[in-house]
Structure formats: C-alpha cells, structure tokens
Amino acid sequence: FRTQQAAASKKRAEAVQSLEKLTETQTALRSSKQNVQTKLTEARSLLSKLTAEEKARLAELERKKEAEAKEKAEKLAARQAAEAKEREAAEKKAREEAAKETGGDSGSGSGSGTGTSPGTGPGTGTGAGGSYAAKAEKVLAFARAQIGKPYVWGAAGPSSYDCSGLTQAAWREAGVTLPRTTWDQVEVGTRVATSDLQPGDLVFFYDDISHVGIYKGDGMMIHAPKPGANVREESIYYMPIYGSVRPA
C-alpha cells in the first residue's frame, strides 16, 4: 500500500508539474496572441497613414504640374503677344516708310498719279484689312456679350451655346454664314498660322478638331468651354492647338 501510495504521489506531482507547464504555455500563447494583434493593429494604422500621405503627395505633385503648365502657357502667351506687337510695329514702320516714298513720288509726278495712288497702292490693302477688322469687331462684340452664358451641347443661342454654336452666331453678326460643326468650320475661309492670328480668327483644338474659340488678341480667346462651364475668356494655349482659320 505504501509503495502504491508513493507511486500515486509521484504521478500526482508529475501531473501538477505538467499542469503548471500547460498553464505557463497557455499564458505565453495568450501573451503572444495579444502581441501579434497589437502589432497587426499598428501595421494597419501605419499602412493607412502611409496611404493617406501617398495620396497627399500625389495630389501635391498634380497641383505642381498644373501650376507649371499654367505658368508655361502664360509665358508662351506673353511671348506670342510680344512677338505680335513687334511684328505690328515693324509692319507699321514699313507702311509709314512706303507711304513716305509714295508721297515723294506723287509730289514729283503728275496730278493724276496723286489721285490714283489711294485706290491702287497700299490703300487698297488697308481697305481690305479694315473690312476684316470691322467684321471682327462685330464678332468680338457679340462674343463678349455672351460671356457668362452656360455651355449646352448642341445649343446655338441665344441663352446658351456650345463651342461651334457660339462661333457661328458671332460671325453671323458680321454677315458671314458658317457651318454648324467644328469639322466643317475648319474648312471655311483661309488657314492661318498661330503666329499670324488676328482678332476674329477661329482657333481649333485637339487632333479630332472637337473644340473652337474666337481669337481676341494677346493670346486670348472667347469660347464656350464644356458642360458645366460658362462662356468665358481664356488663353489659347490652355489646350493643344490644331489650327486656325480666318473666315472672311
């Protein structure tokens, strides 16, 4: 009996020891699980924070790109305007010199030469230019009066316009009938280079010729931009230029 009692006591001690080890193991597992959960929460929080920072960084980069593009467009517009003024000054000087030379020849010639000079010399070209300028003035006056009216696709006035509807209505004021769409309007009149633009010219945009505006000078135009926007003035360099046309 004593032998069996001793054996039982030994087994009981071993069982107690095993239970203690099991308890320690369970405690360690619970602690490990808690640590894992804590680290997982921290990792998720860090990931969320990094994502927000990345979004903010991308948004800042986008803002910088837009600002750089706008600055580039403004510089280009300013350079184009300066070049245009230089050309105008040179042309004016050339006309003045030509007028002086014509005046000198007429003074030394006959009276009939003086009488025919305005009709056959530079006056004829000035008259043609003046005619286009007068039409362009009517076109731009009409376009300015539409500023603030909403863009509506397919609209041609008087309360709303799309891009080609505005150009068609504006040139109608000058007595010139234009087709309805940008694809047809680009085929009317005389093609002109961007560097040779004059007020009233039509400027077309994108490779698919899907937009058009009315040039007003100094690199600016009046146009009906897009749905949700109103007729407004804007730089012609805001969009990729396809080409330009002088309708009359």
Long-range CB pairs of 232-240 (<8 Å, 24+ gap) are 232/147, 232/148, 233/147, 235/73, 235/74, 235/77, 236/77, 236/194, 236/197, 236/203, 237/73, 237/76, 237/77, 237/80, 238/73, 239/205, 239/206, 239/211, 240/205, 240/206, 240/207
Query: Looking up tokens 């680009």, which residue turns up?
Result: 186
| Annotated catalytic residue within 135, 149, 223, 246 | 223
* H or E element, residue 217: strand 211-217
Write down the catalytic residue from 136, 140, 143, 163. 163
Determine the straight-line distance between the first and last CA of the chain, rounded to whole angstroms.
128
Selected catalytic residue, list 135, 211, 216, 246: 211
Q: Is 211 a catalytic residue?
A: yes
Active site residues: 163, 211, 223
